[in-house]
């Protein structure tokens, strides 16, 4: 077998807001008296992606403390609500609270069977994610911790993708070299490019089919991963 280890992003790769980010956002708005269709929110997701890209371009470390995370997400939700024509500082805090609640997250259905298959094939598994420190508790609550001996979380380590050091740290802890390591994530800039530049085998999981023209390995379901890796 060519590979020895597979590392995963977390959000939109292993876990997601339940039922989806747009659906949960729309439900929060409805409870607060704002009727906005989930499709409308989905069509404006570029607002979130643009803010993430800005953070990467300016080396803004937004997960490395609770205060930074709060400021970042307040800014994201403020921009998002303004784009929807809603001005409410109190609502920003309510949205932030809902999306920080572990109960509002769940696993993608295709995750556990694939983790079991990869682990059964003898591969080392790990998580490398830009996420607040509470990802540790979420992984534990969802039953994923036993699969991942290596968990490199930006809110714990003080490093964020696309910084190559966060990937190197994960490989060092797993005791593997880049050429036998796979990285699976949902974003070309934060995941594919830095992992590939290090010599890892990057796999884009494009569940929402946002990047159909991306070069390199691309899957739309985790179920496709074992065959792609020759398992």
Residue with tokens 């920003």: 92
| Cα R_g (the chain), whole angstroms | 18
- Strand, helix or coil at 115? helix
Of the pLDDT bands very low, low, confident and very high (cuts 50, 70, 90), residue 4 is very high
Range 216-230 average pLDDT: 97
Percent of the chain with pLDDT over 90: 82
Max CA-CA distance within the chain?
55
How far apart are the C-alpha atoms of 124 and 37, rounded to whole Å? 42
Q: Check residue 95 and give its pLDDT.
A: 94
Taken in order 142, 137, 167, 76, the sign of the CA dihedral is positive
Of the pLDDT bands very low, low, confident and very high (cuts 50, 70, 90), residue 57 is confident
pLDDT in tens, 135-153: 999 999 999 999 999 999 9
Our CA angle for 113, 118, 119, nearest 5°, is 95
Indicate the pTM of the whole model: 0.93
Residue with tokens 């609550």: 141
Q: Check residue 92 and give its pLDDT.
A: 93
Q: Is the pLDDT of residue 170 over 70?
A: yes
pLDDT in tens, 7-36: 999 999 999 999 999 999 999 999 999 999
Closest CA to 24 of 83, 106, 86: 106
């Amino acid at each position: 077998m060519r590979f020895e280890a597979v590392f995963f992003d977390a959000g939109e790769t292993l876990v997601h807001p339940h039922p989806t980010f747009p659906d949960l956002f729309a439900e929060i708005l409805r409870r607060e008296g704002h009727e906005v269709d989930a499709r409308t929110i989905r069509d404006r997701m570029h607002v979130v992606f643009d803010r993430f890209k800005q953070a990467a371009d300016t080396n803004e470390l937004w997960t490395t403390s609770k205060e930074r995370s709060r400021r970042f997400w307040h800014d994201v939700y403020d921009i998002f609500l303004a784009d929807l024509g809603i001005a409410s500082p109190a609502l920003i805090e309510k949205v932030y609270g809902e999306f920080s609640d572990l109960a509002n997250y769940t696993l993608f259905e295709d995750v556990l069977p694939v983790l079991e298959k990869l682990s059964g094939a003898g591969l080392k598994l790990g998580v490398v994610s830009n996420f607040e420190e509470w990802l540790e508790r979420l992984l534990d609550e969802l039953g994923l911790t036993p699969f991942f001996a290596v968990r490199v979380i930006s809110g714990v380590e003080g490093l964020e993708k696309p910084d190559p050091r966060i990937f190197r740290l994960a490989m060092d802890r797993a005791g593997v070299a880049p050429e036998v390591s796979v990285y699976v994530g949902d974003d070309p800039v934060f995941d594919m490019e830095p992992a590939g530049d290090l010599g890892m085998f990057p796999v884009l999981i494009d569940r929402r089919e946002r990047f159909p023209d991306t070069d390199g390995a691309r899957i739309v379901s985790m179920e496709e991963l074992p065959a792609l890796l020759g398992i």
